[in-house]
Chain A
Amino acid sequence: MQPQTIWQRMLSIDRRWLYAILFVNIVVFLLSPVRLRAPISPPVQKFYDEIESLRPGDLVMISSNWSASTLAENQPQLEAVLKHLMRKGVHFTFISIEAQSRDISLRLAKRLTEEAGYEYGKQWAHFGFVPNLIVAIKGMVNDLPATIKQDVTGTPIQQLPVTKGVKSLKDYKMVIDITPSGTVPIWISYSPKEVRILYCPTSVMAAEAYTYLDSGQVKGMITGAKGAQEYEQLLGITGLGAPFANAISFSHVLIIFFILLGNFALLMQRLHERREG
């Protein structure tokens, strides 16, 4: 049996080693204090400008539809956006069409609002889980209190100071959709035209949203963890976006390196075989 060449050994490397290297790479760059600066992309800048244009006391609907599986992308987005809204003194309400997201967004919002001194019921509220977004939006446009009825604590929403006097979704200034699913076309299709729509998708969903950005149907977008990192830079805060985007960037570098190395080894092996006849 002929001894294996270095190129053959490289091509037959156990893929579990690659997984292990990837794991170590992510751990190192998550823990690393090195923070790369990201250039601010136009959709993120537009997002920021839209929230900057809000006045204290304006009402915003946050549609939070993500669960634990997309935590790395949607949590930094939600944290950064909430911090910005609270800095501006904007009031907000949550709605979830994802059962898990109801509790995840509620827990996260409770922690952040407590830190900022925001009062539940007075400055923010959570409407809980709704199973059908189209029906919910159409209902909220016609009669919001009759559609939502009560918040997660069981309080009728007319009794909550934050939503007192709110009759319809038209009374909101903005909808922010934080989601790994294709929910933004539903908000675009059924919400009132005067309500501005901002979008926080996971990276995989972002490419499809550029048509909506181009047509102005979506006013701004934060794409995944990278977008959150840019947003944190605009806000001047340290959040999860920067370490997550760091880890993602360097895992991409590693994957590209593996691809180049694999192709190079394949090429060299073929040359070697040709020389050997």
Chain B
Amino acid sequence: MDWFMEFLPRTPERLGIWIGVICTLAIYSLLYRENPFYRFFEHMYIGLAAGYSLGPLGVDVLYRYWVEPIWVQGYWAWAFVVPYGMYLYFIFSERYGWISRIVIGTLIGASAGLFFQEFSSRYLPQLNSTLQKPLWLSSANPDLTVSMVINNFLFVIILLSVLTYFTFSYEQRGGVKRFATLGRWFLMIGLGAIFGNTVMARMGLLIGRIYYILNDWLMIPIGGAQ
């Protein structure tokens, strides 16, 4: 009886959980067949997700970085920032569309500048790591084992064959073509592994919802959860 009383949507928290469960079941009802119940909740979800992000955007971004500096700290120059950003919406006007290009130009310029740093920090260490892979046992690398050497050889062969596959500047023939085909096979294996992980992630989504129904709604504790 206590469980049943607790189960009922008598508090705002429980009511929220009940609504969450109804939304979950409505979305999964598509698996049975297309239906208006699903359509309604699908549209509601999209609207809610967009509306929800406006809250943190207003409190954590617009107020913190724009309203407060202008009104509380007196940095009046910030007043021009948001209207400048909003020039982007002129893209919808045939007559004044050119104004949006000023903002787009700023964004492209900033992105290009940032990419220089990204390239050096993100890709150069990988290149460095690849070039430093030892391919034989020596006294210079006392911790190196045979399995690590085999692993390094595999790494280099796979890297070179995949790079060969993506070399389109000349017609590939003979040994080069066979090496490129090997690269394609390695790519397929890599993509297969990624797809396997994708299936695991999709199962994760379903399990997350079932966990919500069991743990939060039906109040069956799972894995020591509250």
Contacts and interface: CB of A to CB of B under 8 A. Distances in A.
A237 B223 CA distance: 10
A184 to B, nearest CB: 10
Interface stretch (A166-174, A242-250, A264-272): A242-250
Contacts of A243: 222-223
Contact of B200 (A22, A76, A215, A224): A224
B69 to A, nearest CB: 9
Contacts of B199: 252, 255
A102 B210 contact: no
A27 B210 contact: yes
B169 interface: no
* Chain B contact residues, majority secondary structure: helix
B7 interface: no
B211 A72 contact: yes
Interface string A107-137: 0000100000000000000001111001000
B128 A190 contact: no
A169 to B, nearest CB: 14
Contacts of A149: 64-65, 68
Interface residues of B, number: 49
B190 interface: yes
Given A19-B31, A243-B222, A189 B122 contact: yes
Contacts of B190: 207
Which of A180, A189, A241 has the most CB atoms of chain B within a 10 A radius of its CB?
A: A189
A160 interface: no
Interface stretch (B48-56, B89-97, B135-143, B180-188): B48-56
A251 interface: yes
A128 B207 CA distance: 28
Interface string B24-58: 00000001100000000000000001001101110
B153 to A, nearest CB: 14
B211 A69 contact: no
Contacts of B53: 99-100
Contacts of A26: 203, 206-207, 210
B57 A247 contact: no
Interface string B192-226: 01100111110111111011101000001011111
A21 to B, nearest CB: 12
A94 B226 CA distance: 22
Interface residues on A, range: 35 or more
B117 A248 contact: no
Interface string A13-38: 00010010011001100110000000
Contact of A70 (B32, B64, B125, B205): B205
Contact of B207 (A30, A212, A214, A215): A30
A99 B222 contact: no
Interface string A47-78: 00000000000000000000011111101100
Which of B49, B117, B118, B204 has the most CB atoms of chain A within a 10 A radius of its CB?
A: B204
A162 B1 CA distance: 46
Contacts of A216: 125, 129
A216 to B, nearest CB: 7
Given A26-B203, A27-B214, 5 more contacts: A99-B52, A100-B52, A128-B56, A202-B201, A214-B155
- Nearest first, the 8 closest Cβ-Cβ pairs linking A and B are A72-B208, A215-B129, A204-B201, A99-B53, A129-B56, A203-B200, A71-B208, A189-B118
Interface of A: 16, 19, 22-23, 26-27, 30-31, 68-73, 75-76, 99-100, 102-103, 111, 128-131, 134, 149-150, 152, 180, 185, 188-190, 202-208, 211-212, 214-217, 223-226, 237-244, 247-248, 251-252, 255
